[in-house]
């Protein structure tokens, strides 16, 4: 089991502050879903909901059952009260790496990795689909904007001039991982915080491509890790409810923070859900440049796992 400890690193950016974890009391049966953005977070929340409630019909929006604890569009009092009132087994969302979360005996920590080249394409669509004004309005009402006045002075971040330019901005982003919402650097760091403890009995690390290729087997593995028994007769309808097509068809009920109007189109939150589209954008030179960059940020083992391929020769890691 992971050794119990308080959070050891503080992660904060425009819409999230991991300091909330220091004020929140975890229950021994809780499930913490700690993923890099656009790696299958909502998918994992949905699988947990299906396993816990054992029905494909959720009465409430998914983020009512599974709020993003440290997102700053709702006050901590509101989120804590919501979770404190829950009598079912709780499953809590965060994009904070494992170092920023309290480790408590009995709690299960779940993370998901994905090929970063697919992540960045999904992130570009995610940002294009976001209503930035609605996001700021929700943040202002929840916690204010005084702490980000300087950051917001320049207005919303400009859209990249091309898809490829947007990818390089994300890949080359030098922002420290404790202050970056999403970048290649922050993604590989997040997975690294899980990597050495991935075989711990209260840690479960999944890969997006495995969920795509064999949802049934991987959903059953998740159930086993969570020690949840599901009658065999229920598996077909639960698995069907966890497919990308099914979730996209119910997007208004499943997307996070839909009550704040953060999305231009809730259906676009579930965009393609595919892997490998980066091959349409990257030529040979771009692939080598990317390989050099990620190889300097992460161990060959983590890079190979993220890409689902054999380890590559990597230059020395950045300090």
Model pLDDT for residues 299-311, shown as the tens digit of each residue: 999 999 999 974 4
pTM of the full structure: 0.92
> Per residue, what are the HEC states of the chain?
CCCCECCCCCCEECCEEHHHHHHCCCCCCCEEEECCCCCCHHHHHHHHHHHHHCCCCCCCCHHHHCCECCECCCCHHHHHHHHHCCCCCCEEEECCCHHHCCECCCCEEEEEECCHHHHHHHHHHHHHCECHHHHHHHHHHHHCCHHHHHHHCCCCCCCCCCHHHHHHHHHHCCCCCCCCCCCHHHHHHHHHHHHCCCCCCCEEEEEHHHHHHCHHHHHHHHHHHCCCCCCHHHHHHHHHHCCHHHHHHCHHHHCCCHHHCCECCHHHHCCCCCCCHHHHCCCHHHHHHHHHHHHCCCCHHHHHHHHCCCCCCCCCCCC
Asked whether the predicted pLDDT for residue 151 surpasses 60, the reply is yes
Asked whether the predicted pLDDT for residue 181 surpasses 60, the reply is yes
Reported confidence tier of residue 96, pLDDT bands at 50, 70, 90: very high
Model pLDDT for residues 165-180, shown as the tens digit of each residue: 999 999 999 999 999 9
Asked whether the predicted pLDDT for residue 284 surpasses 80, the reply is yes
95 catalytically annotated: yes
Across the range 80-97, mean pLDDT stands at 98
Reported confidence tier of residue 314, pLDDT bands at 50, 70, 90: very low
Across the range 94-98, mean pLDDT stands at 98
CATH number belonging to domain 12-307: 3.40.50.300
Range with the poorest average pLDDT among 6-15, 89-98, 107-116, 131-140: 131-140
User: Could you say which of 10, 95, 190, 271 is catalytic?
Assistant: 95
Across the range 37-52, mean pLDDT stands at 96
């Amino acid at each position: 089991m992971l050794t119990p400890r308080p959070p050891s690193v503080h992660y904060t950016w425009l819409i999230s502050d991991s300091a909330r974890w220091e004020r929140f009391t975890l229950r021994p049966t809780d499930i913490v879903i700690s993923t890099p953005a656009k790696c299958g977070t909502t998918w994992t929340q949905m699988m947990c909901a299906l396993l816990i409630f054992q029905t494909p019909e959720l009465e409430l929006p998914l983020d009512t059952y599974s709020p993003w604890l440290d997102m700053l569009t709702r006050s901590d009092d509101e989120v804590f009260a919501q979770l404190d009132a829950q009598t079912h087994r709780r499953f809590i969302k965060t994009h904070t790496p494992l170092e920023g979360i309290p480790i408590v005996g009995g709690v299960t920590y779940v993370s998901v990795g994905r090929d970063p080249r697919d992540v960045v394409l999904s992130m570009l669509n995610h940002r294009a689909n976001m209503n930035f004004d609605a996001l700021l309005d929700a943040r202002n009402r929840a916690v204010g904007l005084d702490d980000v006045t300087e950051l917001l002075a320049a207005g919303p971040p400009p859209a990249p001039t091309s898809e490829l330019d947007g990818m390089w901005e994300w890949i080359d982003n030098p922002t420290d991982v404790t202050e970056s919402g999403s970048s290649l650097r922050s993604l590989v760091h997040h997975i690294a915080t899980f990597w050495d403890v991935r075989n711990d009995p209260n840690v479960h690390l999944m890969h997006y491509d495995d969920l795509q290729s064999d949802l049934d087997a991987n959903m059953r593995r998740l159930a086993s890790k969570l020690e949840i028994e599901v009658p065999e007769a229920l598996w077909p309808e639960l698995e069907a409810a966890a497919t990308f097509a099914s979730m996209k068809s119910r997007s208004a009920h499943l997307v996070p923070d839909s009550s704040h109007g953060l999305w231009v189109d809730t259906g676009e939150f579930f965009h393609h859900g595919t892997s490998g589209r980066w091959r349409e954008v990257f030529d040979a030179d771009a692939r080598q440049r990317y390989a050099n960059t990620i190889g300097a940020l992460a161990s060959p083992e983590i890079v190979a796992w993220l890409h689902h391929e054999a380890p590559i020769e990597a230059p020395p890691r950045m300090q």
